[in-house]
């Protein structure tokens, strides 16, 4: 493992004088694996786990499984996630009111763990736009949300400034800001090599620019949750202080049990939880929250007729798979989606935003037949009359590699599953079984 940069060590000794020795020693320990279970897809089981107190579905694992070869991972029954970052659930529970509908934005969302927490927290009581600026990472983000089966999310691929003209105002904004990554020194050795003394200032300037670009669409009395995986004051406290000094925000506090051994910062108006590597088994993490007390500004670009209404014929096919025709629409490529956002809202946002997915991908109608999308098989609330074929673990892994599996199934579309959890679609035509697992997601690792 690469040595800890000397400049970093010197700063930690100044920043945490009474804890620096234990802090720095902890960075050379092995990282701890952790997962968050999908409460809507019960069934994943791990031996020798320890519950994570700040997340009701989070568990520390005694060893790291081979997730890629576990069909339940691909079925969305759990998601490997850094344990400290799972505290977002605790924070949302204590600061976000649930008596009104919430429109939320996860601005820097890839790879997707925090979006899963937000979507589960909101459930039927809110809508989430999950955004990622890097195109390739935006598609990974969409894959994570599809496998989880989230029904209340749209995925976008945009710069922060693009939201200023979207016509949307948000009640909740989560920004896990790009940072110098000091909190990953134990988990990712490359993070040590990439760090230098100028990283903190460069990242701080970038973080402030991101906030300046997107905060105009945070509604008055809306909540900003800001987090990083770094320890640097420039990227954490100073960013929050800048917002507080603007007069547009006020501090939000929430309870933190002392037995968690998490550092709680409450000074100069800044309130935050700070996870340190020698205090908790997770990696470094900083999280703070503010309420906006000034008015938001709404700008709109000219709407684009990107999405169109589903036809009555499409509506019948949609109803047959247990979804709601009134919430369904047709994308420019002819694919059907169900969205928690209205057609008018989507077309208004499309004037400034690019949608990777406006909602749950249903499929495409070809010659009066619905060709079902992969997302439809994994969606949490979809219901349909297609047969469900149970696969063995060996068959499931073969299916995930894109291979044909021998099954006893009726002609036509069938859903395949492992331990009752859907994995995707096959189509049986006589003696042939066509595998419709997405090519770009196929597993390359052998058992």
DSSP 45-93: --SSEEE-TT-TTEEEESS---GGG-HHHHTTSEEE--TGGGGHHHHHH
**Looking at residues 75-85, what average pLDDT do you find?**
96
Q: Which of 330, 365, 383 is the last residue of a domain?
A: 383
- 365 with 250, same domain: the answer is no
- 270 with 345, same domain: the answer is no
CA dist list (Å): 444 to 19, 38, 51, 139, 447: 44, 25, 32, 18, 10
**Looking at residues 251-258, what average pLDDT do you find?**
98
Residue-range definition of the domain harbouring residue 106: 6-292
Looking at residue 247, its pLDDT comes to 97
In this structure, the number of other CB atoms found within 10 A of the CB of residue 178 comes to: 16
CA 4 to chain centre: 30
Q: Which of 383, 407, 435 is the last residue of a domain?
A: 383
Q: Which two tokens stand for residue 246?
A: 């603007």
Report yes or no on 140 lying in a domain: yes
CATH number for position 438:
3.10.450.720
- 353 with 409, same domain: the answer is no
**Looking at residues 388-403, what average pLDDT do you find?**
96
Looking at residue 401, its pLDDT comes to 97
The crossing angle, in degrees rounded to 10, of helices 88-95 and 113-122 is 30
301-319 tens-digit pLDDT: 888 999 999 988 888 888 8
319-354 tens-digit pLDDT: 888 787 888 999 999 999 999 999 999 999 999 999
Average pLDDT over the chain reads 94
Q: Which two tokens stand for residue 162?
A: 């693009």
At residue 1 the predicted structure's pLDDT band, cuts being 50, 70 and 90, is low
Looking at residue 99, its pLDDT comes to 87
- 284 with 345, same domain: the answer is no
Residue 8 three-state SS: helix
- 97 with 159, same domain: the answer is yes
- 379 with 392, same domain: the answer is no
Query: SS3 breakdown of the chain: % helix, strand, coil, rounded to 5?
Result: 35, 25, 40
Report yes or no on 1 lying in a domain: no
At residue 45 the predicted structure's pLDDT band, cuts being 50, 70 and 90, is confident
CATH number for position 112:
3.40.50.150
Report yes or no on 350 lying in a domain: yes
pTM of the model: 0.96
**Looking at residues 263-282, what average pLDDT do you find?**
96
Q: Which of 383, 406, 429 is the last residue of a domain?
A: 383
171-223 tens-digit pLDDT: 999 999 999 999 999 888 788 988 998 999 999 999 999 999 999 999 999 99
Percent of the chain residues topping a pLDDT of 90: 83
- 390 with 377, same domain: the answer is no
Residue 275 has pLDDT above 80, yes or no: yes
380-391 tens-digit pLDDT: 876 777 889 999
Looking at residue 385, its pLDDT comes to 72
- 351 with 406, same domain: the answer is no
**Looking at residues 137-150, what average pLDDT do you find?**
97
Report yes or no on 22 lying in a domain: yes
Residue 43 has pLDDT above 80, yes or no: no
**Looking at residues 258-284, what average pLDDT do you find?**
96
- Between 298 and 90, the higher pLDDT residue: 90
**Looking at residues 217-238, what average pLDDT do you find?**
97
Residue 300 has pLDDT above 80, yes or no: no
Percent of the chain residues topping a pLDDT of 70: 99
Backbone phi, psi, residue 256, to 5°: -135, 110
Looking at residue 287, its pLDDT comes to 98
Contact by Cβ (8 Å): 272, 172 = no
- 189 with 245, same domain: the answer is yes
Q: Say which range, 92-96, 210-214, 252-256, 382-386, has the weakest mean pLDDT.
A: 382-386
- 367 with 443, same domain: the answer is no
Nearest Cα residue to 426 out of 374, 378, 379, 383 = 374
The total number of structural domains that make up the chain? 3
Report yes or no on 401 lying in a domain: yes
3-state secondary structure 331-379: CCCCCEEECCCCHHHHHHHCCCCCEEECCEEEEEEECCEEEECHHHHHC
- 34 with 135, same domain: the answer is yes
Report yes or no on 47 lying in a domain: yes
- 232 with 349, same domain: the answer is no
């Amino acid at each position: 493992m690469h040595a800890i940069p000397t400049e970093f060590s010197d700063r930690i000794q100044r920043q945490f004088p009474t804890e620096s020795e234990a802090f720095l020693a902890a960075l050379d320990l092995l990282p701890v694996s952790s997962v968050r279970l999908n409460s809507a897809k019960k069934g994943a089981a791990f031996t020798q786990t320890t519950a994570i107190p700040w997340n009701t579905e989070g568990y520390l694992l005694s060893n790291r499984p081979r997730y890629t070869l576990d069909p339940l991972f691909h079925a969305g029954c759990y998601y490997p996630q850094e344990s400290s970052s799972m505290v977002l659930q605790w924070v949302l529970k204590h600061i976000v009111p649930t008596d009104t509908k919430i429109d939320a934005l996860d601005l820097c969302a890839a790879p997707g763990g925090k979006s899963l927490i937000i979507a589960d927290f909101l459930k039927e009581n809110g809508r989430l736009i999950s955004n990622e600026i890097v195109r390739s990472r935006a598609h990974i983000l969409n894959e994570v949300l599809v496998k989880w089966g989230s029904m209340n999310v749209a995925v976008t691929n945009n710069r922060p400034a693009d939201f200023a003209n979207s016509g949307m105002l948000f009640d909740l904004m989560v920004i896990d800001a790009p940072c110098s990554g000091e909190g990953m020194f134990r988990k990712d050795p490359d993070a040590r090599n990439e760090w230098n003394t100028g990283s903190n200032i460069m990242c701080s300037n970038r973080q402030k620019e991101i906030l300046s670009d997107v905060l105009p669409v945070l509604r008055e009395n809306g909540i900003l949750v800001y987090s990083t995986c770094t320890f640097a004051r420039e990227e954490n406290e100073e960013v929050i202080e800048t917002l507080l000094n603007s007069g547009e925000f006020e501090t939000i506090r929430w309870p933190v049990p002392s037995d968690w051994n998490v550092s709680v910062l409450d000074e100069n108006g800044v309130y935050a939880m700070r996870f340190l590597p020698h205090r908790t088994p997770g990696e470094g993490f900083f999280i703070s929250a503010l309420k906006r007390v000034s008015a938001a500004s709404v700008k709109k670009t000219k709407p684009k007729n990107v999405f169109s209404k589903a036809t009555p014929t499409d509506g019948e096919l949609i109803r047959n798979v247990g979804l709601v025709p009134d919430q369904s629409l047709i994308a420019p490529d002819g694919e059907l989606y169900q969205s928690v956002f209205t057609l008018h809202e989507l077309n208004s946002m499309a004037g400034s935003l690019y949608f990777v997915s406006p909602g749950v991908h249903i499929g495409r109608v070809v010659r009066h037949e619905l060709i079902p999308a992969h997302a439809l098989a994994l969606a949490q609330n979809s219901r349909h009359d297609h047969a469900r074929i149970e696969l063995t673990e060996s068959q499931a892994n073969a299916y995930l590699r894109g291979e044909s599996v021998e099954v006893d199934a009726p002609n036509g579309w069938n859903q395949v599953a492992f331990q009752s959890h859907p994995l995707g679609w096959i189509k049986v035509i006589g003696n042939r079984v066509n595998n419709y697992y997405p090519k770009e997601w196929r597993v390359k690792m052998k058992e």
